[in-house]
Amino acid sequence: MVNLKINGISVSVPEGSTILQAAKIAGVEIPTLCYLKNVNCIGACRMCVVEATGARGLVAACVYPVTEGMEVQTNTERVRRSRKTTLELLLSTHKKKCLSCSRSHSCELQRLSLEYGAEEDMFETTDKFDTPLDTSSPFLIRDNDKCISCRRCVAACNNMQSVGAIGLIARGYNTHIGSAFERPIIESPCVGCGQCIVACPTGALTEVSNTDQVWKAISDPSKKVVFFTAPSIRATLGEEFDYPVGTNVEGQMVSAIRRLGNVEVFNMDVTADLTILEEASELIDRVVNKKPLPMFTSCCPGWIKFMEHNYPELLGNLSSCKSPQQMFGAVLKTYYAQKNGIDPKDLFVVSVIPCTAKKFEVTRDEFDYDVDVALTTRELAKMIKTAGIKFRELPEETYDNPFEIATGGGAIFGATGGVMEAALRTAANMLDGNFETVDFPDVRGTAPIKEATYNVAGITVKVAVTSGLANARRLIEDIKAGKKDYTFVEVMACPGGCINGGGQPHVGDSVRNWTDLKDLRAKALYKYDTDHKLRKSHESPVVDMLYKEFFEKPNSHKAHEILHTSYTKREKY
């Protein structure tokens, strides 16, 4: 342990700790901009500078190691003046459209500028702020005139996701972020995960907003508008309305959506359960009939696109099941439309999802626009605020029939390992009707790669779970090299799963760096599952109804026509 003082406060920290880490233990907050824990630590922005004994000049707390007896001052006049000047220099080359920026009030540059009293026009600039927006993709907009070159997005894309869709271009003052050869983002290997948006501290990266389309559909008397919400939304939407991280606001969420207009609100957990019935049946068929293994889950569109770009030779190992989002769209525009005498063209389907890759997924030709619009958690929150709905004062309401009741297995889809656990509950029951185990703790948690082996009805099932595409790449390379042998593998593109998706609420680095958002949000889903009367997907009365009235049985010909899909080999980078 190393002993030092932070602003006169004695503190002991492990050798190798940084001043920033020591300050946190001492209860002292040091501002950061380019630093993002476990993602980006380069000491470039100079917002975290402090005075420290033994150091020549100001040092960056995020990278400077502590030494025995060191005394650190984080709030001297010299430090405050340096930070204010840094902010004013950043503002001089930043397009200040704060009133109309989607990140207004959640922008870290804006917050720090206000706290330090930075003058936005202290330094003149020759910049015209006319760099064209990159609007080439259906999920992301890049505005480089708002970029502060913190490199957090680059680190997220390259280090955390191993995608490499963006990087640094040019040198010195002309350095900017973009795709190789200045190509638009849609022509890069970008998978749409949105982790760059989550990492960005300003409005340089935002999702493509589809709220206007939804408002227009709600106002159109010829349209029947239906919403359905993904499992993780109940555990994250509350953050947009100042609830503690991990608060389950399902009842208020349903109530708020109803108050947007004449709409119905359904539970996407229903098609998460449906996915499990189809996927578990497919897995058993592959095992029994010696078809390609391991079978990879197919719920995450960012992961699917990653495979299409990087491992097209393994596309046959992907489950052919559509994602729960696309299954719900297909169910609504077939079964639901027929049952209610609605022309599918008059049905406007809106999914509320934690994910920007889902915006790409709804545009894929394979899905024939079963879902019209995918809204992120942030977009739904914006609509609720625009409508003047006082979210915290709303009563708790339940989903509309016939897609109201789902199981705990469907709910845990939002956390890494949740799909695997739900599938194991049902697959084990299909193989052995006396298999009573419900909890599979080995596949829970946010470890990079989790492994387990189960024996069911004399069959050995080896499983693996991973999240974050850099981890997925490592796992796949081990499989290809013959170092690992699995029966079933779950992959989610975003670290921690959907609860940490690219469309979830923006959380400032002062919270994100020190709070385990993934753990707190996932706990809300697992509690929902534990408290639920129905915990296995095959116990869902709604899924049972769908098979009896429409799909006949899992993996039937009709189910394959409507609930399954194929994948596309894409350019390899």
Catalytic entry in 361, 421, 490, 539:
361
User: Is 436 designated active site?
Assistant: no
Examine residue 268 and state whether it is found in any structural domain, yes or no: yes
Looking at the fold, whether 218 and 198 belong to one and the same domain comes out as no
Looking at the fold, whether 127 and 247 belong to one and the same domain comes out as no
According to the model, what pLDDT value does residue 436 have? 83
CATH code for the domain of 257: 3.40.50.1780
Examine residue 50 and state whether it is found in any structural domain, yes or no: yes
Six-digit token string for 110: 């804006």
CA distance 308 to 567: 7
User: Domain boundary at 160, 185, 207, which?
Assistant: 207
Which residues on neighbouring strands pair with residue 207, listed in sequence order? 140
Looking at the fold, whether 168 and 247 belong to one and the same domain comes out as no
β-pairing, 295-296 with 488-492? parallel
Alpha helices in 356-443 (DSSP H): 357-361, 377-386, 408-411, 418-431
E runs forming strands in 189-293: 205-207, 224-229, 263-267
CA atoms lying within 13 Å on the CB side of residue 67: 6
According to the model, what pLDDT value does residue 421 have? 97
Instruction: Please answer whether residues 467 and 496 qualify as being in contact, where contact means their C-beta atoms are separated by less than 8 angstroms.
Output: yes
User: Is 498 designated active site?
Assistant: yes
Handedness of CA 40, 42, 44, 50 (dihedral sign): positive
pLDDT tens-digit series, residues 32-79: 999 999 899 999 999 999 999 999 899 999 999 999 999 999 999 999
Q: What average pLDDT does the structure give for the chain?
A: 96
Burial 425-464 (b: 16+ CB within 10 A, else e): bbbbbbbeeebeeeebebbbebeebbbbebebeeeebbbb
CA distance 201 to 196: 10
What number of other Cβ atoms are within 10 A of residue 164's Cβ?
16
According to the model, what pLDDT value does residue 368 have? 83
CATH code for the domain of 146: 3.30.70.20
CA distances from 279 to 3, 283, 560 (A): 55, 6, 11
Binned at pLDDT 50, 70 and 90, residue 572 comes out as confident
pLDDT tens-digit series, residues 441-479: 999 999 999 999 999 888 999 999 999 999 999 999 999
CATH code for the domain of 63: 3.10.20.740
According to the model, what pLDDT value does residue 573 have? 65
pLDDT tens-digit series, residues 213-242: 999 999 999 999 999 999 999 999 999 999
According to the model, what pLDDT value does residue 406 have? 98
Looking at the fold, whether 65 and 111 belong to one and the same domain comes out as no
Q: Cα Rg for the chain, rounded, in angstroms?
A: 25
Per the structure, the complete domain to which residue 164 belongs is given by 90-207
Percent of the chain residues topping a pLDDT of 90 = 94
Which uninterrupted H or E stretch holds 256? helix 250-258
User: Domain boundary at 146, 173, 207, which?
Assistant: 207
Catalytic entry in 358, 450, 518, 536:
358
Examine residue 231 and state whether it is found in any structural domain, yes or no: yes
User: Is 385 designated active site?
Assistant: no
Order across the sheet with 488-492: list the strands.
295-296, 488-492, 459-467, 449-456
Catalytic entry in 299, 321, 355, 494:
299
**Max intra-chain CA distance, the chain:** 78
Give Cα 73 distance to the centre of its chain: 37
Catalytic entry in 137, 188, 298, 319:
319
User: Is 366 designated active site?
Assistant: yes
Catalytic entry in 278, 282, 379, 490:
282
**Crossing angle for the helix pair 377-386 and 211-219, to the nearest 10 degrees:** 50
Catalytic entry in 279, 379, 421, 490:
279
Catalytic entry in 498, 537, 539, 540:
498
Binned at pLDDT 50, 70 and 90, residue 351 comes out as very high
Looking at the fold, whether 203 and 217 belong to one and the same domain comes out as no
Looking at the fold, whether 63 and 104 belong to one and the same domain comes out as no
Three-state DSSP string of 157-176: HHHHCCCCCCEEECCHHHCE
Examine residue 316 and state whether it is found in any structural domain, yes or no: yes
Looking at the fold, whether 405 and 352 belong to one and the same domain comes out as yes
Examine residue 63 and state whether it is found in any structural domain, yes or no: yes
Is the whole-model pTM more than 0.85? yes
Looking at the fold, whether 236 and 121 belong to one and the same domain comes out as no
User: Domain boundary at 52, 75, 98, which?
Assistant: 75
Examine residue 372 and state whether it is found in any structural domain, yes or no: yes
How many domains does the structure of the chain reveal?
3
Examine residue 38 and state whether it is found in any structural domain, yes or no: yes
Looking at the fold, whether 147 and 274 belong to one and the same domain comes out as no
Examine residue 509 and state whether it is found in any structural domain, yes or no: yes
CA distance 135 to 205: 11
User: Is 299 designated active site?
Assistant: yes
Looking at the fold, whether 35 and 129 belong to one and the same domain comes out as no
Mean pLDDT on 133-138: 96
Looking at the fold, whether 231 and 124 belong to one and the same domain comes out as no
Mean pLDDT on 267-288: 96
Catalytic entry in 71, 366, 477, 561:
366
Looking at the fold, whether 143 and 271 belong to one and the same domain comes out as no
Instruction: Please answer whether residues 51 and 6 qualify as being in contact, where contact means their C-beta atoms are separated by less than 8 angstroms.
Output: no
User: Is 279 designated active site?
Assistant: yes
